[in-house]
Amino acid sequence: METNPKVDFYFNKAKQWQEELEQLRPIVLDCGLTEELKWGVPCYSFKKSNIVLIHVFKEYCAVLFFKGVLLRDTKGILIQQTENVQSARQIRFTSASQIVKMKATLKAYIYEAIEVEKAGLKVPMKKTKEFSMPEEFQSKLDKNAALKKAFEALTPGRQRAYLLYFSSAKQAKTREDRVEKYIPQILKGKGLDD
Tell me the pLDDT band of 119, cut-offs 50, 70 and 90. Answer: very high
Neighbours of 121 (CB within 10 A): 10
Specify the fold of 8-118.
Answer: Aspartate Aminotransferase, domain 1 (3.90.1150)
pLDDT (tens digit per residue) in 164-186: 899 888 999 999 999 999 999 99
Tell me the pLDDT band of 127, cut-offs 50, 70 and 90. Answer: confident
Domain ranges across the chain: 8-118, 128-187
On whether the CB atoms of residues 63 and 53 are closer than 8 A, the answer is yes
Please state the length of the chain. Answer: 194
**Cα 149 vs. chain centroid, distance in angstroms?**
28
Nearest to 35 by CA among 21, 56, 52: 52
